[in-house]
Amino acid sequence: MLDIIVLREETDTCYEFDHSRLDDLGVRISSVFVIFAVSAVGAFFPLLSSRCKKFQLPGWVFFTTRYFGSGVILATGFIHLLADALEALTDECIGGTFENYPWAEGIALMSLFCVFGFDAVAHKRIHDQSKMDQINVNGSVLFHGCCDIPSSLQSSNKKSPDADIHIDENPALDSNCEISKERMLNCIILECGIVLHSIFIGLSLAISNSEFVTLYIAVCFHQFFEGLGLGTRFADVVWPRKYSYLPWIMAFTFSLSTPLATAVGLGVRDSFAIGSRRGLITSGIFDAACAGILIYNSIAELMGFDFIYSDEFKEKDMRSLVMGIFVLGLGALAMAVIGNWA
């Protein structure tokens, strides 16, 4: 299929790998382990901080990390994904259909609408299901949802078995449970977009030529900041007991994605070049699709929900809101600057 879209030439002249650069193969191999460590620190530290007293940080540090990370994810969608997709799919070596239409923006738009449709349907189902999660039977309440019965209500129910405890009519508890499910869903969507993007970063690093050292340093910062952004989001969600392992699995998957892709890229560097026609089209399409995912999620959830629709800032003064927006901007700025190299 790609051969139909691309120029009809048997020889790919888009990209030539400089094999003389492989005298630094040892450094390239070490990057696999260094990037894994940097990514893991960024992704796991917020989780550890929220669950272990030994690693617990002051509230203002978690506040700063959370919104700085949100800015990082927002800038990743625009600067690192959409811009890279545009560069790849408008490369003069590709030609064909890609010369006649802005496919990068089009694919990002399609991706955004697909995620929006999925998100809207999922949120509707969560809202409907939350009404059915609590069943009142002869004065006792059975929970089948994500929220546990508060201990105070459990004890009072034990003391008075005939008491009519209508927890299902508690709007605050029902709302918190619904919000928790929605945030779990948004974390999974974020994870998918960022992990796919990280795979192509690893491949690009593995087959890079003279710019390897610069790209290596930039990718380390990139992965650390993205890890912080994801980790703080995972830590902010109230995960039910049966899914308590999920944020740790997702943090590990993110940490492994770029170094694993780098290792694979080093192994197949002679047969696959991300700068070839096929490589440009593949990375361009995936980058554009991931851009749509992150842009939608950043604006709808990380900005719209957190700053406007949630109760996060409603009970706080204007100074807290301004600080949150300022830190969000700092995160976006930091990632935008890194976008000059990675």
**Which token pair is 301?**
């959830």
82 and 295 Cβ atoms separated by less than 8 Å:
yes
In this predicted model, what pLDDT tens digit does every residue of 326-339 receive, in sequence order?
Answer: 999 999 999 999 88
Choice between 257 and 159, residue whose per-residue pLDDT is larger: 257
Sign of CA dihedral 299, 73, 113, 247: negative
- As a whole number, the mean pLDDT across the chain is 79
pLDDT at 12: 56
The pLDDT of residue 262 = 92
Provide the residue type at 264 as one letter.
V
Q: Which residues are 143's β-sheet partners?
A: 134
pLDDT, tens digit (0-9, with 9 covering 90-100), for 252-302: 999 999 999 999 888 877 666 667 788 888 888 988 998 999 899 889 888
What 3-state class would DSSP assign to 57? Answer: coil
Residue 152 pLDDT > 50: no
Is residue 41 pLDDT above 90, yes or no?
Answer: yes
Q: CA-CA distances (angstroms) from residue 328 to 46, 71, 73, 126, 190? A: 17, 4, 10, 29, 17
The predicted pLDDT at position 197 comes to 84
Q: What percent of the chain has pLDDT over 70?
A: 76
Give the residue-averaged pLDDT of 87-99: 84
pLDDT at 38: 95
Q: What's the pLDDT at 257?
A: 94
For 45-56, write each residue's pLDDT tens digit. Answer: 999 988 887 777
What pLDDT, on the 0 to 100 scale, is given for residue 16?
Answer: 56
**Model confidence, pTM:** 0.72
Residue 64 Cα distances to 17, 185, 325, 327, angstroms: 42, 23, 10, 6
108-119 mean pLDDT? 92
Minimum mean pLDDT among 85-94, 124-133, 162-171: which range? 162-171
